[in-house]
Amino acid sequence: MKLAFHHRPEVPIEAEVITPEKLAGLSEAEVSALPLQYGNERVPLGEFFRVSGRYEGEILVEGDLSRVKMIGSGMSAGRIVVDGDAGMHLGVGMSGGEIVVKGNAGDWVAPDLSGGRITIHGNAGHLVGSAYRGSAMGIRGGEILIHGNAGNEAGNAMRRGLIAIGGDCGDFGGVNMCAGTLIVLGRLGARCGASMKRGSIVSMQPAPLLPTFGYACRYEPLYLRLYLLHLKRLGMSVGEAHIEGPYRRYSGDAIETNRGEILLLDA
Amino acid sequence: MRVENAEVVDTFAEAFAMWGSRVIITAVSPVWAMAAARAMTGFATSVIGCKCEAGIERELPSAETPDGRPGVSVLLFSMSADSVGKRLLERVGQCVMTAPTTACFNGLTAEQEAAVGGKLRYFGDGYQIAKFLDGRRYWRIPVMDGEFVVEDRFGVKSSVGGGNLLILGPDLPVTLAAAEAAVAAMRQVPGVILPFPDGIVRSGSKPGSKYKGLPASTNDAYCPTLRAFAPSTEVIPEAGCVLEIVIDGLDLEGVREAMRVGIGAAAAHGALRITAGNYGGHLGQYQIGLHSLLAA
């Protein structure tokens, strides 16, 4: 099924209907009639998208969707390919399946993610895989792969899962992290891992660490090979030096349980 | 039936339903991966005395292992899925975790699973860390050279144990050479192991004994020194030595294929007679006819 975005909205659209579960089994006319939230109005999907074909495992969404929010909301299976940019809250509540964005993604990629994989070939905004404000828990599983850079607070309070950033990461990466893995192939921003309880933050560049992180040792973390080989297979720019290490291990945050770790490549 | 100069007896090997698992051991070098694999498969020749049967399936190049390091594939069999789990826990804990630089991964997708890393993690005394990647859970257990990474659960599947060949030769050197050739050929078959020392056993057994409490005793029918006065003998006059090869496999087809190539190799290297051990078909779940192997 193909959804071609044919004109840019003046205000953002909430398109939580663009998800395999809601489009499966529907005709083009039925899909066109599904409601979108456009400002304070409900408008039919056909007002912004030209629909062609039926859903057979993949939804191709074309156009500049940077003002289209919540694509892939709650999806549990299937595949969405966004041939362009995607708006905020991409893959919110996703538990399975795959979303591929060929351009950039807005803020709040995959809040409440518990399974599946999101791949963004460009950059992502702030709060990738982050807990919503007021929530104690971020993503609980799944994978978010960003080939470009990501903004602040990536992996805020993440509980499980993998976030990989091919470029640089903004400030407060892994803040409040409970567990899971945040791998940044570029640079970490300031105050990474602040208040983290458990979990792993990895970077291939030196990083300014908070004083509440203590140096443990220089070693080759075997488990990291599994992650990096996995990311390499998925097309991320992982080099042999990343896989072989060694890494400097820091434990923190000492103001919490001190069970988290930051691994910095020390090639 | 004759193959080369060997007579292949029209009989069958009686094999048993067992449960099996595949363990992938990796390390910083092939030497250390093999050291752990040898330790893990030591004292694992027969369930009668060792509680399990285990052997090295093959060495694995870096490209075929989960962590991209050199590895060794080990198969371990026992009489129940529960027992396989217990043996894995003992042997991974005592033989693999202890060896420097190793990691240990499940190599078998199966409906039944045994918790291995999920129990070994307690060795970490609260410092262990779980990682969940691509549908598989791993445990990082802090050890003195860094961390031991072990997979949480290992697949356990119904398998076949006790396939066997008995090779009769004119003397020890020729019979041993024939058995060694058979072992070399059989080890090329995937999914099988030969659990005895370098694949060969000289102390074949029969069930029971004249002594109470012994579950098995020497297979007198195949002992050349007893040929003149044992109640019955299977040792032909031309033979001065008998060696056995036992085969365990993850499926019956693998065991059959290993036996087939083993017969051919032994026959080509001086065996006089090739036969197989059975219990009249009363004990084992599988009967593997030697002639049927050669006819296939």
**Contact status, residue A256 vs residue A196, Cβ threshold 8 Å:** yes
Which of chain A's residues have a Cβ under 8 Å away from the Cβ of B103? 222
pLDDT in the model for residue B296: 65
B67 vs A141, A198, A226: nearest CB: A226
A222 vs B67, B130, B134: nearest CB: B67
Distance of alpha carbon A121 from alpha carbon A149, whole angstroms: 10
8 Å CB contact of B147 and A222:
yes
In sign, the C-alpha dihedral spanning B131, B137, B138, B139 is positive
Measured in degrees and rounded to the nearest 5, phi and psi for residue B184 equal -60, -40
In sign, the C-alpha dihedral spanning B88, B89, B94, B98 is positive
**In this structure, what is the dihedral angle of CA atoms A126, A132, A137, A140, given to the nearest 10 degrees?**
-70
The pair of three-digit structure tokens given for residue A183, joined into one six-digit string: 């791998």
- What is the largest distance, in Å, between two alpha-carbon atoms of chain B? 66
The pair of three-digit structure tokens given for residue A208, joined into one six-digit string: 């300014």
> Residues A165-207: pLDDT tens digits?
999 999 999 999 999 999 999 999 999 999 999 999 999 999 9
Nearest to A156 by CA among A168, A173, A143: A173
Task: Using DSSP bridges, classify how beta strands A160-165 and A181-184 pair: parallel, antiparallel or unpaired.
Answer: parallel
**Percentage of chain A lying above the pLDDT 70 cut:** 100
pLDDT by residue for chain B (296 residues), tens only, comes to 999 999 999 999 999 999 999 999 999 999 999 999 999 999 999 998 999 999 999 999 999 999 999 999 999 999 999 999 999 999 999 999 999 999 999 999 998 999 999 999 999 999 999 999 999 999 999 999 999 999 999 999 999 999 999 999 999 999 999 999 999 999 999 999 999 999 999 999 998 999 998 989 999 999 999 999 877 899 999 999 999 999 999 999 999 999 999 999 999 999 999 999 998 888 899 999 999 999 86
> Residues A39-97: pLDDT tens digits?
999 999 999 999 999 999 999 999 999 999 999 999 999 999 999 999 999 999 999 99
Query: What interface predicted TM-score (ipTM) does this complex get?
Result: 0.94
Distance of alpha carbon B147 from alpha carbon A58, whole angstroms: 41
What pairs with residue A61 in β-bridges?
A3, A82
Task: Report helix, strand or coil for B254.
Answer: helix
**Contact status, residue A46 vs residue A27, Cβ threshold 8 Å:** no
Rounded to 10°, the helix B172-186/B252-268 angle is 140
Whether A219 has its CB under 8 Å from any CB of chain B: the answer is yes
Domains observed in chain B:
2-15+160-295 (3.30.70.520), 18-157 (3.30.70.520)
Which residues, 6+ apart, have CB-to-CB distance to B219 below 8 Å? Answer: B204, B205, B206, B277
Distance of alpha carbon A62 from alpha carbon A125, whole angstroms: 20
Whether B105 has its CB under 8 Å from any CB of chain A: the answer is no
A221 vs B66, B130, B147: nearest CB: B147
The pair of three-digit structure tokens given for residue B184, joined into one six-digit string: 């070399």
Check whether A7 has a pLDDT greater than 90: no
Which of chain B's residues have a Cβ under 8 Å away from the Cβ of A222? 67, 103, 140, 146-147, 149
The pair of three-digit structure tokens given for residue B197, joined into one six-digit string: 């020392």
Distance between first and last Cα of chain A: 47
Measured in degrees and rounded to the nearest 5, phi and psi for residue A188 equal -85, 145
Tell me the Ramachandran region of residue A29: left when phi exceeds 0, alpha when psi lies from -120 to 50, beta otherwise. Answer: alpha
Distance of alpha carbon A206 from alpha carbon B88, whole angstroms: 41
Check whether A267 has a pLDDT greater than 90: no
